[in-house]
């Protein structure tokens, strides 16, 4: 069984930074594309960022471009989301997800494995 565990969430003031981590166990995920999604209170889950198997290709939702950076360390079986210039509208539960195969994907229904989420709260 593949397990994804997110960490690094917390409370931060507007303009601050956080780095989220997603650690995988059960087997290596070096041949998987990795994603971050988020869900704000009362809203639908939305795509945030994705990275392909090698880390050479990334994708971001428009609202986080220039502020968030996704990266991965396959030797550690871990994916990261560096979040800078945080805004109150970034407040959400952030979920790590993985897709079998090397090609990138940005749709939640394409993902094969999910973490349980970590809460990010940005105060004004």
pLDDT at 29 over 90: no
The mean per-residue pLDDT over the stretch 56-65 comes to 96
Distance, in Å, from the CA atom of 87 to the CA atom of 97, rounded to the nearest integer, reads 23
Partnered with residue 19 across adjacent β-strands are 82
pLDDT confidence band for 26 (50 / 70 / 90)? confident
Residue 67 has pLDDT above 90, yes or no: yes
CA 22 to chain centre: 8
Q: What is the mean pLDDT of residues 49-73?
A: 95
CA distance 109 to 118: 20
Highest mean pLDDT: which range of 52-56, 103-107, 111-115: 111-115
| pLDDT reported for residue 43 | 96
Angle at 38 between CA 9 and CA 69, to 5 degrees: 70
Using CA atoms, how far apart are residues 6 and 80, in angstroms rounded to an integer? 9
> What is the overall mean pLDDT for the chain?
95
The DSSP output letter for 46 is: E
pLDDT at residue 102 in the model: 82
Tokens of 15: 């303009």
User: According to the model, what pLDDT value does residue 19 have?
Assistant: 98
Tokens of 70: 């996704």
């Amino acid at each position: 069984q593949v397990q994804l565990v997110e960490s690094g969430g917390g409370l931060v003031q507007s303009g601050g930074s956080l780095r989220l981590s997603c650690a995988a166990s059960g087997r290596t995920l070096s041949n998987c594309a990795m994603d971050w999604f988020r869900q704000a209170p009362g809203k639908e889950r939305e795509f945030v960022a994705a990275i392909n198997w090698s880390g050479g290709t990334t994708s971001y939702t428009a609202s986080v471009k220039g502020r968030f950076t996704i990266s991965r360390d396959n030797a550690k079986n871990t994916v990261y989301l560096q979040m800078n210039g945080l805004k109150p509208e970034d407040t959400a539960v952030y979920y790590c997800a993985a897709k079998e195969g090397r090609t990138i994907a940005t749709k939640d229904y394409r993902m094969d494995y999910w973490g349980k989420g970590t809460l990010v709260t940005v105060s004004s």
